[in-house]
Structure 1
C-alpha cells in the first residue's frame, strides 16, 4: 500500500491498544495494520554488540520503513521503540535515516521523537496526574494501565526511565521477549 499519513496516525491509535494483548499476536497485527497504511514494519534480530533498538527510513517518497530489534527484550522497550520510530516518520525529514539506541539520543530530533512517543502512549496530562499521586505500587500501576488501555510494562518502564521507580522494581509487570528460531 502507498503511504498515507492520516491512515498511519489512525493505525497508531489502534496499535497503542494492542499493547495489552500477547506480544507475538499484537506485533503481527501491528505489522499488518502498518502495512495497510503504507509503512513497512519489520522485526530484526538484535546484532550482538550493536546497541540499536530501532530505525526508521524512507525507501522512497511513498514507502517508509520501521525496523525494531527488541534488544532490551521487554515489551515496554519494544512498544516505545515502535512509537519513537513512528515519530520520525511523521515529524522528520524523508531524507534522513534515524537509528535509536546507541546513546539514547542526545539531540533535539531524538528528544522530540521521545516526547512524541511518550505522549502517544500516555497523554502527558494523564501521566502528570498519575505521577502526582506518588503511589507506584503494583495495584496502582495495573489500575493506571487499565485506565489508559496500555500494557502495565509501559507504565513501569516510564516510571523507571523518569527515575520515579528503581530499575529493579515491578519488572514482573513487563513481558520478557526472546528470539526463537523458526
Structure 2
C-alpha cells in the first residue's frame, strides 16, 4: 500500500494564534496554493480531517472522500484561537516543559492525540484491498505517523519540518514501512 499524506495549505494567521481543532481560515488566495500542488488522481481511498482547511483542498480537486475525526490536529482546548503570547504562563509553562504528557487547558495531551491518530493508522494499514491512499490532514498528525513509522522519541517530533501543501509518501509492504518522500 502506498500512503500519501498531505498537509493543508497555508493558513491566514498574522496574529500567531494557537489553533488545532479551531477552524483557522486558509490564506485569502488559497486556490492559487492549490494550483501548485502535485496531486495524483488514482487513489483508491481519500480520507480528510473534518477541518475546513483540509476539506477545501479535497473539494477543490473534486475528490470523492470521507472524513475521520481522528485526523484532526491537536485539541488545544481553552487555548484555541488565543494569541500564544496571551496564554497564561502558569498554564503554558508546564506544557512547554513536557508537551508530551501535559494536557493543554481543556484540551488533550500529545499522548492522547497519539492514541487517537494511531487508532486510525493501525486500522488503515490493516486493510488489504487498498493500493493507494490519500490522507489530507495536519502537521501534528503527519509527525505522529512518521514518529510511529520511524520509531524516534516522541519528544523529537517537532524536529521534522512538515511544509504546508506538501506530501509525505509512505510505502507499506507486508508490515514493513518505507518513507519514500517528505515535503514533495
The two structures have a TM-score, normalised by structure 2, of 0.30
- Higher RCO (C-alpha 8 Å, min separation 6): 2
The two structures have a TM-score, normalised by structure 1, of 0.30
